[in-house]
Structure 1
């Protein structure tokens, strides 16, 4: 039986680490190792960055310019596709076993291959695992940003879960989805308390975003980004030539943890792989909601209405 104190106070871990680029087996192994490391510190919620397996392919063009694609770029995409994962799969089972061993909730960014109707489309996905090792569900990024649209499909409203756990209600939006006001509103409307923001954005403006989300939603925000450099990318990819003009450090990190009044619990960390830890007290949410509750006493349902289509969207040519 979990006591009130245990329910309201617990430790979280935010993983800042680089991917094993284009190698899902090594990526899963690294994730398992980091889950175990975080569990040794007593973390009950463990968060990984966006697209941790097999990579956020920063700097790669996949041989694409407007109007044409190169054969070399298609081969790069093939490697990316081969090392993405289906859900569920042996890879998700392995991560689930690590979550079970850790007795923790694990949220991890992956690139997902869908089985239906075609497995050619990839999605940027956050997977949620429970402390029993089970795959609780997933969230697919609703709108890939900029050049991400060349390689990822769009999610729909059927994957906008918020999970009720002994450690608060947990949900996630990925990277620039957090600039979509109605997507945030959907999370708030579901009572999110531990708001996960896996990201690939390491700019200073991102920290204004996560602080605003925490303050607006009166929730804890766990923001996880990769630390990556050019040495992490395999030599065979054609984009290696394109990397010549890029700095060695491709993503400086910037993972952080923010409280429900928008203050840093853990300041952004730069320039290295590191696991960030913080002790969370859910009572801080009620204290913060004293003067602002976005879906409570500060809501105006007589003026504003939110409609969310949570039905799975399928192509009309696809019949089960």
Structure 2
């Protein structure tokens, strides 16, 4: 019902606009017709006047010729002067009238053109509005689709705020610490900075961290080029998941880059790889420990 009323109201507006335009054009045609009739009437009047004056002149000439033989010389010399119409003055008046009419027609033509462009714009706007309205109705008629929420992280046999995955418990902080303080915080929780053993564990860690930043892990370079895990796991025998171009041991840093972290750069597959960073910088961290009772 609303859609029909909306459409009808715009059609009424368009009809009124077109009626105004038609009335203007009718006025133009009426003016042109009046000018033509006026010009025709003037021509006929001019012809009749000229004919009458011609007859009068002939009669006057006969009278003057006749009187010349009876009148004195002074009477002949003081004969009343005759009036001859000036066609140039009448032509100038007609040109002025035509010029005014042409100017008026030009103004009306421009006004009609503007009206037509406005009507075209209104038609386009009405069409777009109707299309948008119909699209919104179609969208509203579709059944609601609820986004699937992520599965809750299972706490399992872990402490509060810890999550369980493959026989280990994991805790990720929200506050930042330097690498050594982060390891000390994990030790206080009877754990250590996380040791990433395989790709499944890397994907799990990438899914639980929420901050768009890097996280300290239990990887440290004690000697140049000699990386090791804090729990004693053999680094060379385990899989490595360094990000592209890492480790780069950026020499611009005064303290070098000797500590590993889960990189803040997230790839298209939502996976975070490793990065080396200055150990004195403050970052959140991930702890790894055993379940309760072990």
- TM-score of the alignment, normalized to the shorter chain, above 0.5: no
Give the structure with the larger strand fraction: 1
Which has the bigger relative contact order, CA under 8 A and spacing at least 6?
1
TM range (shorter): under 0.3
**TM-score, normalised with respect to structure 2:** 0.21
Instruction: Please tell me whether Structure 1 or Structure 2 has the larger radius of gyration of its CA atoms.
Output: 2
The structure with the greater share of residues assigned to helix is 2
